Structure formats: structure tokens, C-alpha cells
Amino acid sequence: MARVLLVDGHNIAFRGYYGIGELNRRDGFPTGAIFGYASTIWRLEDIIRPEYSVVFFDLGRSAQRRELLPEYKAQRKPMPEELRLQLPQVRRLAGLMAAAVVERQDVEADDLLASRAVAEAERGNFVDIASSDKDFTQIVSHSITLWRPPVMGSPSFRWAPMGPTEVLAKFSVRPQQMVDYLSLVGDAADNVPGVPRIGAKTAARLLQSYGSIEGIFAHCGELPPAIAKNLRDFADDLERNRRLIAFDLSLSQGPLERHSVDCQALLAFFREFELNSLIKKAATRYGLRQDNLFCF
């Protein structure tokens, strides 16, 4: 039985970029996302103490989901050039920090991560997911914990674990009901529209009473006429939403290459990007000699 940390790589890189602010190498190359990623992973390792880590990156949006809804994630702003430049280096850094790096063309990182999480839990391992994406609440269980990051700009807040109890407390539905819940209310982050007149409280109340979307439709006659009509009118959209929101958990999960931190390569990486504070932290963290740390 092992403890496995699964990291939403793009999510953490984005948070690093926006959370650190402007940080550049002397030649102007941006380094905020790189700095933020390393600091975040070390913080998570200190909290969770995983036996090994896996980081997942996107290589594009899901073609299947775009076919279902052309507007899927279309509202998102283009990635800032400063962040785009850093992503290959964040991928490189993830490997240097001893994580397995997983990405697949035309498959969303969320599906890869969710499939790995469920597979690891089925093997009897404990799984910790690092991401701010609430979609992962749908696979939370007693073996799978979602760690939500602190609010940006609020240093007093800490990474918060979400198990089944916390999901129920926050959304008033159980993890296995989250796909139906988000299908009803919509998901603005992914540009998935919900059913008109059904907000978070109404959706939670309906699912508490009837268990699922199927259960709600079976009792439409008991609902206020306006809500019942909207549900019937948007039945096809609800089914589409479920297919958009639910993870594909059938993705193959091959063996992972596990390795230790290459301390000298990691120090060389931090020197390359002139991240002197991370050089000092790495030396302390990995018990390295303090002399000649900054030799380029």
C-alpha cells in the first residue's frame, strides 16, 4: 500500500504564474511559473509525504468533447506568452523532481489523471490529487483525496483536503452525485451551460430527494411546473453535459518509471534560470554541501 501524489501540471503552473507575479532571468526570460511550481510541489510533498508522484499535462483539448459541444472551453483567454514559454521547462522540472510525467495527444490531462487515480485506489493505494479543478470531486472517495490550493493572495490559507465529507459539506451532494450536480447547474470554467432556473441550491435539493437525474425525471410530476418543464426541455442537453463532465476512466494505465531526485541536475536547472532561493532550499532539502552551490 503506497501513498501516491497526482498533480494537475497545467493547473499548478498557471497558479504559479499568476501567484508569483513578475519574475525574470537577467535576459528577460520569465521564471514565475517555474518558481511557483517547484515551491508548490515541495510544499505538497511536506504535507502529504507521498511514496511517488505523477504529473499530468495537456497536449490539447479533447476532440470528442469539442464534437459534443463546439463551445467547450472556448471562452478561455489565450495563454499568456510568458507562461507558454515556461511550460516546457515546467515539464522538464517535474521530471528532475522525480515525478513521472504523463501526457497524451488529444486526451485531456484530467481524464488521464482520473483514470490513474481510480486505478491506484483499486490497487489499494491512497491517492492525493493536487488541483483547483472541482471536477475531481466526482472521484473523491475514502482512498482518493482532492487537495484544493489556497486562495491566491491569501498567505494565511493552506492547501485543504477534500474527502467525501468535505465534498458533501461544500456542495450538499455526495461525490458520486457530482456529475449530475454539475450537469444541472453547469460548469462556467469549461463553458458548459446548465438548466435554466436550476441553481446550486435547487440542484442539491433535487439530488438529495431523488438521488440522480433519472430519479428526478421519474418524479417530475412532483416538481414545480416551471422546473419540470425546463428539465424536459433540456433533457438532451443534460445527457450531453454528463458526457462532457464525466471523466473517461477507461484509459490504459501502464507501469510508471520511478526514480530518485537527481540533485546535481536539479541544481543545474535552478542555476540555468537564476533561481537562487530555490538553490538554497534544494541544498537544505536534500542535504547537499553548501559550498560552490552557485558555480555556473
Residues 28 and 65 in one domain: yes
Give the E-state strand segments of the chain in sequence order: 3-8, 52-56, 100-102, 126-130, 144-148, 160-162, 186-187, 192-193
In our burial notation (b when 16+ CB lie closer than 10 A, e otherwise), range 177-204 reads bbbbbbbbbbbeebbbebbeebeeebbb
* Domain total in the chain: 2
Please provide residue 55's backbone torsions phi and psi, each rounded to the nearest 5 degrees: -115, 135
In a domain, 169, yes or no: no
Residue 295: the pLDDT is 54
**Residue 21, class by beta-carbon neighbours within 10 Å (0-12 exposed, 13-18 middle, 19+ buried)?**
exposed
pTM of the model: 0.91
> pLDDT value at position 175?
98
DSSP string for 75-97: TSPPPPHHHHHHHHHHHHHHHHT
Residue 43 lies in a domain: yes
Q: What is the pLDDT of residue 152?
A: 64
* Sign of the dihedral defined by the CA atoms of residues 187, 188, 191, 193, in that order: positive
What is the reported pLDDT for 192?
85
Q: What is the CATH number of the domain that holds 198?
A: 1.10.150.20
> What was the pLDDT predicted at 67?
75
Instruction: Clarify whether residues 229 and 279 are in a common domain.
Output: no
- 263 lies in which domain range? 3-164+248-285
Q: Are 183 and 245 contacting, i.e. CB atoms less than 8 angstroms apart? A: yes
State whether 115 and 193 are in the same domain.
no
Residues 238 and 125 in one domain: no
Per-residue pLDDT of the chain (296 residues; tens, 9 = 90+): 899 999 999 999 999 898 888 899 999 999 999 999 999 999 999 999 999 999 999 887 666 777 777 776 766 778 899 999 999 999 999 999 999 999 988 889 999 999 999 999 999 999 999 999 999 999 999 999 999 988 765 555 689 999 999 999 999 999 999 999 999 998 888 888 889 889 999 999 999 999 999 999 999 999 999 999 999 999 999 998 999 999 999 887 777 877 889 899 999 999 999 999 999 999 999 888 665 665 54
pLDDT score recorded for residue 154: 54
Task: For residue 98, give the CATH number of its domain.
Answer: 3.40.50.1010
Question: Does residue 198 lie in a domain region?
Answer: yes
- Tell me, yes or no, whether 208 and 263 share the same domain: no
158 shares its domain with 239? no
